[in-house]
Structure 1
Amino acid sequence: MAGQILGDRYEVERQIGKQTGRWTLLARDLKTQERVVIKLLFLDDALEWDDLKLFEREVEILKALSHPSIPRYLGFFEHQLPNDKALALIQTYVPGKSLEQCLQEQRLFTEAETKQLAKALLNILIYLHGQQPPIVHRDIKPSNILLANRQVYLVDFGSVKSLTSTGDTSAFTVVGTYGYMPPEQFSGRAIPASDLYSLGATLTAMLAGAHPSSLPHKGTKLDFEKIANLSPAYADWLGWLTNPNLEQRVRSAQEALAALEQGGRRSPMIAPIAKPTETKISLTQDATRLEIFMPSLLGQAHLHIDQQQISLSQKRLGFQTGRPLTAPRKQISRLEYRKVGSAQNNAEPYLALWAGTQEYELKSYPPLTVPETDWLAYELSIWLKLPIQ
């Protein structure tokens, strides 16, 4: 197809990928003279319904995304063929080298290099999983990660899934790549922790220079002692990501990044702590904002943290009373948790954030219970990437 003009403006240079019923082309935009990537889906008799559904989903999700490490959506059109039609998705072109190419060149990555990869990819996943509803990539692997201009890119959203607001994580289409897929994905289930398993498997492949399925295992788990010369903390962290048991796997990209930045070791408070069933405290969060509402004598105490500031205020009947206590987000330096009192059973829990010299104590009425305080301390520690003192 080299030299062919698609959509009256895109001149095909070469084919860069081919699957049954799908082609990926490198082309030049004749209006801007910039290179673009064109994904073609052929609407012929061999087209499967699932392929069309995934293609249309990729188009809709890419339209809504805006991240410097994700190819940008540029357009969509139908292309007429001699006997049929094809759908065309246009994206920005990233002129980089994939991690798969690095594997084929037998390049081994060091522990330090894979940690840098992990941090970059976890920040991308924090963005995707923080969308409303969350977006799960479902096919993280070396060929879908590019290195270009000293930056890491996550590409190919052909398997992407947007989780419904009802929390449904099932899917009728099983997608992913063997060796990089967690067990739950084989049955069509995909959640944010599924992407974290795939990330861990990808990092392991780069360390060992081999496909994860060919590496030594202890039962169903990867045996990191035989895979590479890793620090115990980092091997433990990778094992956490690639745990086949979903209940024992890291649950969020924020949590994984916080542990990695603390050296890769999981402190006792990193272990997931569930929200107490009887609590009247409300906590909501995404990648850019965290809010906690607690009952108080005046109505509600409201802690709000975003990328710019932290504020603590009182609300009655939904309206703010008095001036909120505020400080720049960058001044948050300490998360303090202790039990006040001599008897452990009667001790009253104390939980506070410090921004500079300003204390933001979390108080409620009735007073916080120990399970509530444990839960809030855990959530704040993970989201803020702060150790609990």
Structure 2
Amino acid sequence: MSGQILGDRYEVERQIGKQTGRWTLLARDLISDEQVVLKLLFLDEQLEADDLKLFEREVEILKSLSHPSIPRYLGYFEHQLPNDKALVLIQTYVEGKSLEQCLQQRRTFTEVETKQLARALLNILMYLHGRQPAILHRDIKPSNILLANRRAYLVDFGSVKTIRGKEETSSFTVVGTYGYMPPEQFSGRVLPASDLFSLGATLITLIAGNHPSSLPHRGTRIDFSQLPNLSPEYADWLAWLTEPNLEHRVKSAQEALQALEQGRPTIPSPVEKPPDTKISLIKDANSLEVLIPALLGHTNLKIDRQQISLSSKRLGFQSNVQAAPRHRISRLEYRKFPEGSFPDNNESQIVIWAGTESYDLGNNLSPPELDWLAYELSTWLKLPIS
């Protein structure tokens, strides 16, 4: 197709990629004289309904994104073919080398290099997952990460998905790449932690020089224990990202980045309820409720399968009601102060983060009460204390 003009404006220079019913072309904009990427979806008898849905979703989501490490949406048009037609997505061209190309050239990456990549990609995921609704890439792998201009770029949003509220389980097409997909994605379930698994598998691939499908496994877990020159702390962090059990995997890109920089937080040792506390805590497998007495009232924390809520009542009047979807809970923070020092009365010592919202507890509680409450929340939420 070299030299062909599409959309009366874009001169094709070469083919970048080809899949059944899809072409990706490098072209030159005859008006701006800049290179662009054209992604074509052929509307023929072989077109699957899911392919059209994914293509249209990619167009709509790219329109809404503005990030220096994500190709920018430029436009969209229909191109008439002799017998059929094609839908064409136009986006900016990033002139760089994919991590897959680096692997094909027998290049492996050091721990320091993959940590730098991890920081860059986690910041991109924080942007995507922090959107409303959250945007999940669902196909993070070496061929979809480019290195250019001293920057890492995340490309190919053809598998992208948005989620609202509780994660969806079976209402969409299963997409992704074997070896980089977490177990839950095979059954049609996806959430931010799924992208983190794919990122972890990608980083392991760069260090090992082989794709996950070629690496040894212990059950469903990637076994990279024999990789040389890998610090125990970093190996533990990678294992956390690629944990097959969703309940034990890191929950958010923000939490993963913090652990990469400061070390992975640990689950506390068991703490007994202080005998003299007036705090009421009721829990079962589905819900947890904490009632903290306060001057002329109380603070009430409730968490169930659907949401987290925090409210205060003073002199019989309810105020300061907060609520957020349960799935957004990503981090549990316990701010301990040195013995003999005291925080400001308004400074909360236990904070539950749900996205960018903080649910603050622990004002004016004793150290034993704080230790016990932090332990109970950590074990019930299955979140480490940071």
TM-score normalised per structure 2: 0.76
Equivalent residue for 1:213?
213
Judge conservation of contact 1:137–1:160 (CA < 8 Å) in 2: yes
Equivalent residue for 1:170?
170
Q: CA deviation at 1:99?
A: 0.2
Judge conservation of contact 2:21–2:42 (CA < 8 Å) in 1: yes
Q: What is the alpha-carbon distance in structure 2 between the residues aligned to residue 186 and residue 129 of structure 1?
A: 20
- 1:351 corresponds to 2:362: no
CA RMSD, Structure 1 to Structure 2 (Å): 3.4
What is the CA deviation profile of residues 338-381 of structure 1, one whole-angstrom value per residue up to 9, with x for unaligned ones? 6999xxxxxxx97179xxxxxxx855699987665558899xxx
Q: How does 1:1-80 map to 2 (within 5 A)?
A: 1-80=1-80
CA separation of 1:373 and 1:220: change in aligned 2, threshold 3 A: closer
Q: What is the alpha-carbon distance in structure 2 between the residues aligned to residue 170 and residue 215 of structure 1?
A: 29
Judge conservation of contact 2:138–2:160 (CA < 8 Å) in 1: yes
Equivalent residue for 1:158?
158
Q: Give the aligned residue type for 1:295.
A: S
Q: CA deviation at 1:251?
A: 1.2
Give the stretch that moved more between structures: 197-206 or 211-220: 211-220
Equivalent residue for 1:83?
83
Judge conservation of contact 1:338–1:350 (CA < 8 Å) in 2: no
Q: CA deviation at 1:37?
A: 0.4
Equivalent residue for 1:278?
289
What is the CA deviation profile of residues 149-186 of structure 1, one whole-angstrom value per residue up to 9, with x for unaligned ones? 00010000000111133532434311111111111111
Q: Give the aligned residue type for 1:267.
A: T
Judge conservation of contact 1:43–1:86 (CA < 8 Å) in 2: yes
Q: How does 1:124-139 map to 2 (within 5 A)?
A: 124-139=124-139
Give the stretch that moved more between structures: 123-132 or 366-375: 366-375
Q: What is the alpha-carbon distance in structure 2 between the residues aligned to residue 177 and residue 107 of structure 1?
A: 21
Equivalent residue for 1:295?
312
- State the SS of the aligned residue for 1:59: helix
- 1:257 corresponds to 2:257: yes
TM-score normalised per structure 1: 0.75
Q: CA deviation at 1:218?
A: 2.5
Q: CA deviation at 1:336?
A: 2.4
Q: Which runs of 5+ in 1 are unaligned?
A: 284-290, 304-333, 342-348, 354-360
Identity of aligned residues (%): 67
Judge conservation of contact 1:98–1:143 (CA < 8 Å) in 2: yes
Judge conservation of contact 2:141–2:180 (CA < 8 Å) in 1: yes
Q: CA deviation at 1:266?
A: 3.3
Q: CA deviation at 1:31?
A: 1.4
- State the SS of the aligned residue for 1:199: helix
Judge conservation of contact 1:293–1:300 (CA < 8 Å) in 2: no
- State the SS of the aligned residue for 2:17: strand
Equivalent residue for 2:224?
224
Equivalent residue for 1:321?
none
Q: How does 1:312-331 map to 2 (within 5 A)?
A: none
Counting matched residue pairs gives 327
Q: What is the alpha-carbon distance in structure 1 between the residues aligned to residue 223 and residue 229 of structure 2?
A: 12
Q: Which runs of 5+ in 2 are unaligned?
A: 269-284, 291-299, 323-332, 341-346, 352-359
Q: What is the alpha-carbon distance in structure 2 between the residues aligned to residue 372 and residue 61 of structure 1?
A: 41
Q: Give the aligned residue type for 1:218.
A: R
Q: What is the alpha-carbon distance in structure 2 between the residues aligned to residue 216 and residue 141 of structure 1?
A: 18
Judge conservation of contact 2:334–2:374 (CA < 8 Å) in 1: no
Q: What is the alpha-carbon distance in structure 1 between the residues aligned to residue 378 and residue 321 of structure 2?
A: 16
What is the CA deviation profile of residues 19-45 of structure 1, one whole-angstrom value per residue up to 9, with x for unaligned ones? 000000001111111111000000001
Equivalent residue for 1:268?
267
CA separation of 1:74 and 1:61: change in aligned 2, threshold 3 A: same
What is the CA deviation profile of residues 289-323 of structure 1, one whole-angstrom value per residue up to 9, with x for unaligned ones? xx9955153854599xxxxxxxxxxxxxxxxxxxx
Equivalent residue for 2:344?
none
- State the SS of the aligned residue for 2:176: coil
Q: What is the alpha-carbon distance in structure 2 between the residues aligned to residue 179 and residue 363 of structure 1?
A: 43
Q: CA deviation at 1:252?
A: 1.0
CA separation of 1:37 and 1:227: change in aligned 2, threshold 3 A: same
